Amino acid sequence: MANLAGKKIIVVGGSSGIGFGVAAAALENGAEVVIAGRSTDKLKVAEKRLDGAGRVTGIVADMANEADVSRLFKEAGAFDHLVATAGTPPPNDPVGETDMDFVRQFVDGKLIGAVMLAKHAVRTLDKGGSMIFTSGINKDRPPVPGGSVVSAVAGSFTYFARALALELAPVRVNIVSPGWVDTEMWDEIVGAAKTGYFEQMGTRIPAGRIATPAEIAPAYLYLLQNEFMTGETIHIDGGQRLV
C-alpha cells in the first residue's frame, strides 16, 4: 500500500460529514490536505477542528461553478489525489410533483460538478495519483416515493468511474458508495427526527447501527493507497444493501 506521507489530497466536501472524516484520516496518515466547500465559515471551523499542524488549507469553491472549480485547482497547485464527497440533500418529491429547478440544481451540484472536477483536476493531478467520487445506498435501495433522481445520479457514478479509469490511466478513478452515515446532512433533511430514523434503520441492518464518518473514511484511504484499484465501486454500508 502506498504511503500517504507528504501527498497532497484535495477533499471537495471536506468541511463536513464524510469528507471531514476523510480529511482527518488522511492527516493522520501524514498527508497534506486541501478542503473545499462553498461556505467560508464552515471551512474555517473545519480547519480548526482538523488541527493539522500547518497541513490543512481551506479553499472556498462551489463545484457547480466552473470558474470556481478552475480557480480551486489553480490555487491548490500540483497534487496527488482528488476526493469528492460534496453533495446536498436530494429531491424527494413523488415524480408527478417534481420541481425541475431543484432537480437541475441537484444534478449540477453532484454529477455535472463531478465532471467539472475531473476536467480541471487532470491538468495538475500527478499521473501516479487518483480520483475518488462518492455515490451511495440510494442507488441500491431508492427511497419510495421520490427516489428516482437520486438513484439515477448515484448509480451513474459507477459507470463514470469505469470510463474515466480507462481514459485517464495510469491515473486511477474509483467510487465509494456508503450506506447511511451520521452526518450534518441528516440534520438538514430530517432535523430532530434523525435519532428515530437511525434507531429504526439500526434494527434492520446487519451492522445493527448507522456508521460514523470515521468508519467510512478507511474505504477512501484503501482506494487512495492501493495502486492496483481502479474503475471500482466499493460499498461500505453495514449490510444495508442486503435488507
User: Could you give phi then psi for residue 36, rounded to 5 degrees?
Assistant: -130, 145
- Cβ 178 vs Cβ 237: under 8 Å: yes
List strand residue ranges (DSSP E) for the chain, in order.
8-12, 32-37, 56-60, 79-84, 125-134, 172-178, 233-236
- DSSP, collapsed to helix, strand or coil, labels residue 130 as strand
Residue ranges in contact with ligand NAP by CB under 6 A: 12-13, 15-19, 36-39, 42, 62-64, 85-88, 109-110, 113, 134, 136-137, 178, 180-181, 183-185
Nearest CB to ligand NAP, comparing residues 165 and 219:
219
**Residue 25 Cβ, how far from ligand NAP at the closest point, in Å?**
14
Answer for the pair 109, 122: CB distance below 8 angstroms, yes or no.
no
Least distance in Å: CB of 179 to ligand NAP? 6
Nearer to ligand NAP, 167 or 199 (CB): 199
For residue 132, which of 28, 14, 11 has the smallest C-alpha distance?
A: 11
Residue with nearest beta carbon to ligand NAP: 87
Q: Output the smallest distance, CB 4 to ligand NAP, in A.
A: 21
Is the distance from CB of 117 to CB of 12 less than 8 angstroms? yes
- If the CB atoms of residues 5 and 33 are measured against ligand NAP, the closer one turns out to be 33
Cβ closer to ligand NAP: 128 or 196?
Answer: 196
| Residue 201 C-beta: closest distance to ligand NAP, Å | 10
